[in-house]
Structures are given as C-alpha cells and as structure tokens.
Amino acid sequence: MLSAAGGGSEDEAKKEVQKARREGSSPEKLASDKSVTKKSGITVAREIFRENGTKGLFRGGILRGIWTALGSGLYLGMYESSRVWLGDRHDSEEAQ
C-alpha cells in the first residue's frame, strides 16, 4: 500500500495500460519501461524510517487498528451468531 503511492492518478495509469494493450504491449513491459519496480515491505519500511523516522513508520497505526478491530468484531459477531442460529436450528430438527 505504501509503495503504491506515487506520481500519477489511477485514471492516468488505466489510460496508459489501455494504450499499451492497443499497441500489443504487456502491462509488465509497460512497468519495466516506466522503471516501476515492486519493493518489498522491508525496503519500503526502511525508506519511510529514513525519511520520516519512527513517527512516520507508525503513522496511521491507530486508525488502522480501529478499522481492523471494527471489521474483525463484525466478522466474528456474524460468525458466532450464525453458528448459534444454525446449531439451534439443527437441534430443533433432531427433536422432531
């Protein structure tokens, strides 16, 4: 996610990919022509640490934690509710 932030908008990128496809070129060739390389998470973390320090490395961590807790809570709540509902339904069918 961090390495995706760069120059150009999503619309511009889509236009360039469509142009490359019309010309018979692959998106991989387009990426190599633009000297776009995939960086590992460690490499991105080192760059951020070097540029912004520890504070920059953990920027957005609280918001991500809240978002993850909310999503996980909803998921697990629905899972447990469904499990209990299906279990009760199964037990009532066996009783009949």
pLDDT in tens, 8-26: 566 777 777 788 788 887 7
Q: Do 32 and 55 fall within a single domain?
A: yes
Which domain covers residue 3, as residue numbers?
A: 1-59
Q: Do 73 and 29 fall within a single domain?
A: no
Between CA 90 and CA 84 the distance in angstroms is: 10
Q: Do 55 and 69 fall within a single domain?
A: no
Mark residue 10 as left, alpha or beta (left: phi above 0; alpha: psi -120 to 50; beta: remaining).
Answer: alpha
- Band of pLDDT at residue 44, cut at 50, 70 and 90: confident
Flag whether the pTM goes above 0.75: no
Number of domains into which the chain is organized = 2
Q: Do 3 and 21 fall within a single domain?
A: yes
Between CA 66 and CA 45 the distance in angstroms is: 21
Q: Do 7 and 23 fall within a single domain?
A: yes
Q: Where are the beta strands (DSSP E) in the chain?
A: none
Segment 25-41 mean pLDDT: 67
Q: Do 15 and 54 fall within a single domain?
A: yes
